[in-house]
Amino acid sequence: MSYLNDQILKSLKRARKAKGLSQRELSAKSGVPQSHISKIENGAVDLRVSSLVALARTLDLELELVPRKAVSAVQSIVRKTINTDLMNTQRCAQVLPAYSLDNEVDDE
C-alpha cells in the first residue's frame, strides 16, 4: 500500500471516530457496506473513488484535486482547521460541577 493511500485510510478512520460513528452507522449513512468499510480501513481492498466520495461526504469531508504547487499551503490550512476544531472540542468537553461549595450559605 502506498504512503498516500495509507494516509487517506487513516484519515477516513480518524474522521469516523471523531464523529463518534461505528462502521455500521457510517455504512447506514453512506450506503457503503460495513464489511467494505472494515476492509477499506484495514487496507485489505483498493479504495474505489465512488466509495471514497460517499464516505468522505458522510464524514463532512470534501475531495479536491489540488495543483502540486499548492499542496503544502492546503495542508497547512487543513492542519490549522483541525487544530482549531480540536481546541474548540476540548473547551466544550470540560466538565463543570453541578454546584460549588464556595458560594453555599449555611441555613443554621
Distances from the Cα of 12 to the Cα of 22, 36, 49, 98, angstroms: 12, 13, 13, 37
Q: Is the pTM of this model over 0.75?
A: no
- What is the per-residue pLDDT across 73-107, written as a single tens digit (0 to 9) for each? 998 998 888 777 666 666 665 555 555 555 555 55
What distance in Å separates the CA atoms of residue 8 and residue 10, rounded to the nearest whole number? 5
Domain boundaries, the chain: 3-67
Which of 4-8, 44-48, 73-77 has the lowest average pLDDT? Answer: 4-8
User: What is the distance between the terminal CA atoms of the chain, rounded to a whole angstrom?
Assistant: 72
Angstrom distance (rounded) from CA 51 to CA 35: 12
- At the top level of CATH, the class of 3-67 is mainly alpha
